[in-house]
Amino acid sequence: MLEQAGVLISERLGKRKCAIVTDVNVASFHLETLKQALGETAAGEITLEPGEGTKSFYELGPLCENLLEMGVERGDLVIALGGGVIGDIAGFAASILRRGVSFVQIPTSLLAQVDSSVGGKTGINTPQGKNLIGAFYQPRLVIADTSLLETLPDRQFRAGYAEVAKYGLLGDADFFEWLEQNWRGVFAGGPERLHAIEMSCKAKAAIVETDEHEHGDRALLNLGHTFGHALEAFAGYSDRLFHGEAISIGMAMAFELSNEVELCAGQDAQRAIRHLEGVGLPTRSDQIPGDKPTPDQLLSLMAQDKKVQDGVLTFILTRGIGKAFVERGVDMNKLHDFLTRKCS
């Protein structure tokens, strides 16, 4: 499908000059194929370093300036060729460049194909937290070529799978049961992988369609993210902890907290955790390499979460597999005690 990107873009958006934003790793595998597919419409490429550290003001400014120097006009396209990091920063740059230049997502990671390329969230990180600077800005087109996942390192694929499992855990118990039975096929490729990606995209699109700017139900997509984003910030947005790994730990903590406050049965919490551990994902903060977070560090980082309202933390808790809900009334003393045990 990547070989047909130029045709797909022209058919849907017309013939436009295209500026490619990618990272070093993705470029080594897929950049030349995309440039050939775009032909004379390819205006050039900007290659960034991989990793969450790239999503910063330090990289955003030069990226915007390079796009302007490339001659990108309001009627042109910015193409994000890469995983969630590239999609987020390239999409944000497109949203502010000339007050809005259209962009196309070509996600190359499992996480990007099932999550970050769908829904229109773009942004960068700051020391205070993840994605705190950004914009809702929808891509004009998403080209998800599942064959590109064959070049993805095992750890990155596994991290992306956490977001696949999330869709079952938050709202589709039948899908989660299917994943329990078929996850090996998802990892191996073939029809199971295609089915998992399709189900994930449909689940996210259905929620985003009803609540694009996250005033209500879209917050459910953040199952595990209040804890997970704090853990990512603690780890310095480094390869100590990939986003999907942080979300896996966060989802385990969300189920455990739900069980402790008597919302979720213990067997459901253990079932969720057992599945995440079974595919090789971390479920505890002490599995993060290097120094470990303290309860106060995590609480301080969670206080910067985008879903905080009037100083009150928002959590996505659950009443069982597939039964997530938004909770803004978590007792802070209970939360501190919970984190103390989890961080010990």
Note the pLDDT of residue 314: 86
Please report the pLDDT score of residue 344 as a whole number.
Answer: 80
- Please say if 99 is a catalytic residue: yes
Q: Which of 25, 131, 222, 259 is catalytic?
A: 222
Catalytic hit among 35, 55, 130, 229? 229
Give the pLDDT band (50/70/90) at residue 31: very high
Give the type of residue at 326.
V
Name the active-site residue from 214, 232, 245, 256: 214
pLDDT value for 212 = 83
pLDDT in tens, 44-81: 999 999 999 999 999 999 999 999 999 999 999 999 99
Is 17 annotated as catalytic?
no
Q: Tell me, yes or no, if 218 is annotated catalytic.
A: yes
222 is catalytic: yes
**Active site (annotated) includes residue 73:** no
Mean pLDDT of the chain: 94
For the whole model, what pTM was predicted? Answer: 0.92
How many angstroms separate the CA atoms of 317 and 314, rounded?
Answer: 9
Asked if the model's pLDDT at residue 211 lies above 80, the reply is no
Res. 160: pLDDT tops 90: yes
Residue 12 falls in the annotated catalytic set: no
pLDDT, one tens digit per residue, over 262-311 is 999 999 999 999 999 999 999 999 999 999 999 999 999 988 876 677 67
Tens digit of each residue's pLDDT (9 = 90 or more) over 96-148: 999 999 999 999 999 999 999 988 999 999 988 889 999 999 999 999 999 99
Check whether 228 has a pLDDT greater than 90: yes
Residues 6+ apart with CB under 8 A from 150: 189
Q: What confidence score (pLDDT) does residue 306 get?
A: 67
Check 121, 130, 307, 342 and give the catalytic one: 121
Q: Do domains 2-149 and 153-343 have the same CATH topology?
A: no
**Under CATH, what is the fold of the domain 2-149?**
Rossmann fold (3.40.50)
Q: In the chain, where are the structural domains located?
A: 2-149, 153-343
316: which 2 tokens? 């996505």
The active-site residue out of 130, 166, 193, 243 is 243
Catalytic residue (one of 30, 204, 275, 306): 204
Domain 153-343: which CATH class? mainly alpha
Q: How far from chain centre, in Å, is Cα 283?
A: 18
- The single residue of 218, 275, 307, 342 carrying the catalytic annotation is 218
Report, as an integer, the average pLDDT of 307-330: 87
pLDDT at 218: 84
Check if 121 is active-site.
yes
Question: Using an 8 Å Cβ cutoff, are 111 and 84 in contact?
Answer: yes
Catalytic residue among 30, 35, 225, 275: 225
User: Any catalytic annotation for residue 243?
Assistant: yes
